[in-house]
Amino acid sequence: MSLVGRSLISLNNWSLNEVQDLFSQSRQFKQNPEQSLFNSAGKLVSLAFFEPSTRTKLSFQTALGRLGVLSSDLGPLSDSSMVKGESFSETLKTIEAMQPDLTILRVNATAGEYDTIKDCSMPIINAGCGATGHPTQALTDVYTMSERLSVEGLKVLFVGDVNHSRVVKSNIELLKKFSGISFGFCGPEAFLPPANEYKNSTLFSSLEEALSWCNICMGLRVQKERHSKEEFSTAQYQKNYRLTAEKIEKHLSKDAFIMHPGPHVPEMDFDPLIFNDPRCLVRNQVSNGVYIRMALIASILGLQEGV
Ligand code: CP
């Protein structure tokens, strides 16, 4: 089915063919990011980020710039009329009344926000929604995996705050479309889903054991802002679950890869020395995010190749 005029809230209703088509278009943009598109003039995309972001927002802005599509940006909420008491709902409806061709939205995802989003007639891309989903990050991650390994049959390990991770939820939603995928989750018990929540999954309490098991090790940030209280010991977490160059060297297969959707917090989840490891794909994820988002925006706006 064509993506023209469609929203992307979750990947639930995407077929594997649609995913593969998007990957193929992303590959074309990667080979030629300056590819001209003849009907981008006059299109307008709005950015509305109600939660902080570095890479997702910049990645969408970079993609829009490369495509030659105009954008408007709500900007930091401290510069918006929300500081004068205007609601999320009224803010989104105000954006909609300006008739953008597409809105890129990051929200915290309360029930009221969902109702407003469902009530919008403009296409919306979910650019990260509370702890529930981040589909463009998942597309970026799986595309990055596919550049190195066949996705079918992969053993994908998530280390850290799995329960609060929207990236994990969207990655699982997407990876389940490929055959033979197994999932591993590693972290303190309070961070992990119940053993039977996901098919073909294994819970690991030992990071060393988990690292020896996987083809892909995806580190995650401990989302302190989403914990109601201190549910874990920082010192214990750092000792047992922080990914270090030493643990990777000792336990991760030479043919496996290390990923992290970001943001990464060096003291808690990710030793910066890992960036020097040739198996580390974190920078590739960031670069590929631009091509995935170019392909997605071009598809939703119905942009076509120029001459
Ligand atoms: N991966 C991700 O969503 O990062 P940002 O919060 O920086 O956008």
Residue-wise pLDDT for 19-31, tens only, equals: 999 999 999 999 9
Q: Which two tokens stand for residue 194?
A: 């119940």
Cβ 262 under 6 angstroms from ligand 1? yes
Q: Please give the model's pTM, rounded to 2 decimal places.
A: 0.96
Q: CA dihedral in degrees (195, 199, 205, 208; nearest 10)?
A: 170
pLDDT digits (tens, 9 = 90+) for 102-140: 999 999 878 788 888 989 999 999 999 988 999 999 999
CA distances from residue 168 to 33, 42, 156, 261 in whole angstroms, order as listed = 29, 36, 10, 10
DSSP letter (8 states) at residue 33: T
Q: Is-contact 303 25, C-beta < 8 A? A: no
Cβ 187 under 6 angstroms from ligand 1? no
Which of ligand 1's atoms lies nearest the C-alpha of 56? 8
Which of ligand 1's atoms lies nearest the C-alpha of 127? 3
Cβ 265 under 6 angstroms from ligand 1? no
Q: Whose C-alpha lies nearest to ligand 1, atom 6?
A: 53
Burial of residue 284, with CB atoms counted within 10 A of its CB: 0-12 exposed, 13-18 middle, 19 or more buried: middle
Cβ 54 under 6 angstroms from ligand 1? yes
pLDDT digits (tens, 9 = 90+) for 260-304: 999 999 999 889 999 999 999 999 999 999 999 999 999 999 998
Q: Which domains does the chain have, with CATH numbers?
A: 16-133+287-301 (3.40.50.1370), 136-285 (3.40.50.1370)
Backbone angles phi, psi at 186, to 5 degrees: -135, 130
Cβ 128 under 6 angstroms from ligand 1? yes
